[in-house]
Structure 1
Amino acid sequence: MTRTFGAMSIAELSALIQMGKVDPIEVTESVLSGIKAYPDKAVFISLLEDRALAEAQGSSKRLKEGRSLGLLDGIPIAWKDLFDIEGLPTTAGSKVLKKAAPATKDAAIVDLLKQAGMVAVGRTNMSEFAFSGIGINPNYGTPHNPHGKDAPRIPGGSSSGSGVAVAAGLVPVAMGTDTGGSIRIPAGFNGIVGYKATRGRYAMNGVYPLATSLDSLGPLCRTVQDAVWVDAAMRGLTVPQTARQPARPLDIVIPTNIVFDGAEPGVVAAFEAAIERLAKAGARITRLAFPTFDELPKLMVKYGPMVTAEAFALHREKLSGPDAEEMDHRVVARTRLGEKTSLSDYIAIVENRARMIAETEALIGDRFVAMPSVAHVAPQIAPLLKDDELFFATNGKTLRNTGFGNFLDWCGVSIPCGSGDAGMPVGFLLSANANCDETLLQAAMAYEETIRG
């Protein structure tokens, strides 16, 4: 076959494998070769060649004996460097964890997808300790956005390598984590699908944390259907249970405050064109202000961000010792801000958060929320490396739209909806209240073609 297996959707590749048109061993060898031949060596931190080939051989044997484990049997997957892989230290994109004890077993999610027959091919690069929406990593290099033709552009973070691995056609799916936008941002910047599940939808055992009150998981892939298939396996289901048609016509709320502030005209145009297509397809569109969107920045100024408080608690020993010298200075500076949040401040954040979630749920009801995944396209890397002030300002703006969803405990899907400046991809973010994942995925799958245009 001349087509690259890594550039296929899960559904497309699964059909070939299940029909016996291609063998999982051939697929895995081809994917590993493609990764090795890819000129950007910063996408993967490590390859899992021996494991991948052993898992592919197991899949091949099952299929020949008529014992397929289902739709995902033989499908290659890449894992963000936050997930425990048995026998290897989990380095979280950092040099300081290279000497950590190897994991004694796979993370729970890694094991579940192995049980579904998926083949783990490698670990993808990321922002150090998952603490940036930009994706720059001085330890392992910064993966370049494959759409950046004029100059190297950021991949988005923190699941930078996962986003690029899929967008570059190296793997059909890669796993990410999302604490402030770390799945939806790389998906938006790289023109692929990224699904952030409701926090707590999946087992978190063996996943290196950033801020447990905000951390969530999900796949980066080519289509919403692919995300639905992986989501089912991540919950231990043998077949997906998400219906293809939504139970009701799409009912969308678009926030009128904050999320369009400073947005690039190209991003707004691509988003509004998608909204127009949805309206023509019968979707109901409402525009209104979200009071919590105005309140959250003020809350962060008063008490500090929840994420920095929890990240500081996690990393305080590293920050007070020699490890800090080996860490990305931008990650160190941002994490140290959490020291300013006192216990009483943190309790105030938690209490306000519960109230704000309840108020926003009442405002949204059973509707979906739509906005651009990021208010700008992926910027060039070089200026951000030269200027820390520009880096932090860009990071804040990059995380802004998606960050609301983490704080308010939403689930969300970023779907490509067109292009903006320099022909770079624009993401359309469709979100729903906590634990409305099934209705969100159902709607996203039904309207994906309309959103893409």
Structure 2
Amino acid sequence: MPTPRSVAQLSVLLQSGALDPVVLAEETLDAIEAHPDAAIFTCLTKERAKREAEAARRRLREGRSLGALDGVPIAWKDLFDIEGLPTTAGSRVLRGAEPAGRDAAVVRALAGAGMVSVGRVNMSEFAFSGLGINPHYGTPRNPASPDGEHRLPGGSSSGSGVAVAAGLVPVSIGTDTGGSVRIPAAFNGIVGYKASRGRYPMEGVFPLARSLDSLGPLCRTVKDAVLVDAAMRGLPAAEALPRPAPADLSLVIPETVFFDGAEPEVVAAFETAVERLARAGARIRRQAFPEFSAIFELMAKHGALVTAEAFVLHRERIQGPAAAEMDSRVVKRTLLGEKITLADYLETLAARERLTAAFEARLGPDSLLIAPTLPHVAPALQPLLDDEELFFQANAKTLRNTLVGNFLDWCGVSLPCGTGAGAMPVGLLISAPRNADDRLLAAAAAMESPLGDLSRSAE
């Protein structure tokens, strides 16, 4: 396995001339092709990577660097339009789709920053699962899996999480509708940043539920996320975020929902991280949030927003012959949306606004929420393939903590914070209200150092 390197580390080497972008692109593509897990990437964009790397080489040699990301490899979840390729969304039914006429807006933005697109990575079909299982293109193996085991990668951005954790690329861009960036980040022991909805343009991104869809990078450090975030927004360079001292952080641990049924080892790893933050001076309190319970009561009564919107999007597919080519579990989950009425949907949207405002008032203007990203570590694949009911139970539990943030329009960062059962990674989720992304990223960067050696991916 290649030595994992961060975006920032590669940037120093490229900008100094110690590493050639073309050599880096070739090494990256060779490592991907030599990797024993063929389920991580769905396709490689060799010609494009060669062209972009050669352009980066010319700029760097002529002193015309586009910035810190120039020449750095990147992979894309199979939801982003890439010119000349069909966007298949992890599904067989779209393999014959019309090739994209141009790149998605965020793909164009990162190409404009000089990044080298090396390929597309695998995902849950149509992004509709938090586990990362894909019966069509295979399920990537979590690199932290014990010998002889195939642990889940997390979804739906499964290939993104594994590609970064395996050291194949320093960053991959995913989407997050119910946790699909933060879940694979936590399962694989890397950093995942879910931006506020609307922070980036969604043009050319295959949707799941437009009222919930957001984007973000999976990478090795918060600094990497900051660099990529700026470029995705079309900024010429990442502004240096004022990094607060841990003593300036006000952190709130929720006493509602997030710890229900959590594995003891996950709770222990999280509490160890909390102790580190407290010793560094962070102010920490524990608080109940009745809004979190209300979300699940609302879903039980009216159905989930994601299910309603996914049904409308895929209605013709799942009610026609294409359904036979789809993952039956995705079809069953999507069909639940048929029972959700317009009145249910509108009432849920109205309640969402009320609950979001109530949560933000209860949290306060200067605090951030911290909790385990997930209540459990990555489970083994085979039992979930053998038992469909177990699959649905595991999927619901895996999505539980993170979907709260999508419903309430949070931004969030999952940081690795140690290991749980089977020495599998555990994530710590830092969340902030909508559009508080800069404050969130600054706080996450400040927390990386105290957490330090708790993480497999600490650098």
- Give the match's secondary structure for 2:74: strand
Measure the CA separation in 2 of the matches of 1:78 and 1:180: 21
Partner of 1:311: 310
Q: Partner of 2:288 in structure 1?
A: 289
Alignment counterpart, residue 161 of structure 1, candidates 151, 159, 171: 159
Deviation at 1:53, TM superposition (A): 0.5
Q: Is the 8 Å Cα contact of residues 242 and 441 (structure 1) preserved in structure 2? A: no
The residue type equivalent to 1:440 in the other structure is L
**Equivalent position amino acid for 2:307 in 1:** T
For the Cα contact (< 8 Å) 2:200–2:232, is it kept in 1?
yes
1:130-153 CA distances to partner (integer Å, 9 max, x unpaired)?
Answer: 000000000100000000014100
* Identity percentage of aligned residues: 63
Aligned to 1:66: 63
1:451 Cα deviation (Å)?
2.6
Residue 433 (structure 2) pairs with residue 436 (structure 1): no
Out of 75, 96, 99, the position equivalent to 2:72 is 75
| 1:115-154 map, 5 Å | 115-150=112-147, 151-154=149-152
Q: How far apart in 1 are the matches of 2:37 and 2:248? A: 43
- 1:53-452 matches, cutoff 5 A: 53-150=50-147, 151-246=149-244, 249-365=248-364, 366-452=366-452
Q: Cα distance, 1:207 vs. partner?
A: 0.2
Q: Give CA deviations for 1:93-118 in whole Å, capped at 9, x if unaligned.
A: 00000011000000000000000000
User: In 2, Cα distance between the equivalents of 1:291 and 1:103?
Assistant: 45
**2:236 partner letter:** T
C-alpha separation between the residues in 2 aligned to 1:225 and 1:275? 21
Displacement of 1:4 after TM fit? Answer: 3.9
Separation of aligned partners in 2, 1:241 and 1:305: 38
CA distances 1:31-80 after superposition (whole Å, capped 9, x unpaired): 00000000000000000000001000000011111100000000000000
SS at match of 2:93: coil
CA distance in 2: counterparts of 1:379 and 1:287, whole angstroms: 29
C-alpha distance in structure 2 between counterparts of 1:208 and 1:225, whole Å: 28
Are the counterparts in 2 of residues 138 and 328 from structure 1 also a CA contact under 8 Å?
A: yes
Q: 2:423, 2:159 → 1: CA distance?
A: 21
CA contact (8 A) 1:279 1:285 kept: yes
> Matched residues in 2 for 1:431 and 1:185: separation?
14
Partners of 2:284 and 2:447 in 1: CA distance:
14
How far did 1:246 drift?
Answer: 1.9
SS at match of 2:172: strand
> What SS is found at the alignment partner of 1:174?
strand
Cα offset, 1:240, TM superposition: 1.0
* Structure 1 residues 196 and 242: alpha-carbon distance in aligned structure 2, compared to 1, 3 A threshold: farther
The DSSP-based 3-state class of the residue aligned with 2:79 is coil
Displacement, 1:402? 0.5
Cα RMSD, aligned residues only: 1.0
Q: TM-score, normalised by structure 1?
A: 0.98
- Is contact 2:2–2:166 with CA below 8 Å preserved after alignment? no
Can you list the C-alpha shifts for 1:361-383, whole angstroms capped at 9, x where unaligned? 10112210001010000000000
Counterpart amino acid of residue 314 in structure 1: L
Cα displacement string for residues 300-355 of structure 1 (whole angstroms, at most 9, x for unaligned residues): 01000110000001000101111000000000000000111100110000000000
1:181-224, Cα deviation, whole Å (9 max, x unpaired): 00000000000000000000000000000000000000000000
CA distance in structure 1 between the aligned counterparts of 2:178 and 2:347, rounded to whole angstroms: 20
Question: TM-score, length-normalised on structure 2?
Answer: 0.97
Partner SS for 1:352: helix
Confirm or deny: 8 A CA contact 1:293 1:404 kept in the other structure: yes
Tell whether the 8 Å contact from 1:246 to 1:439 is kept in structure 2 after alignment. Answer: no
Q: CA deviation at 1:242?
A: 4.0
Letter in 1 for 2:6: S
Alignment match, 2:457: none
Q: How far apart, CA to CA, are the structure 2 residues paired with 1:198 and 1:251?
A: 20
Q: What amino acid maps onto 1:225 in structure 2?
A: K
Partners of 1:435 and 1:245 in 2: how far apart?
Answer: 18
Secondary structure at the aligned position of 1:96 is classed as: helix
Letter in 1 for 2:22: I
Q: 1:406-437 deviations in whole A, cap 9, x for unaligned? A: 00000000000000000000000000000000
Q: Which runs of 4+ in 1 moved over 2 A?
A: none
Return the offset for 1:244.
4.4
Cα distance between partner residues in 2 of 1:201 and 1:341: 29
Q: CA–CA distance in 2 between the matches of 1:134 and 1:4? A: 25
Q: What letter corresponds to residue 190 of structure 2 in structure 1?
A: I
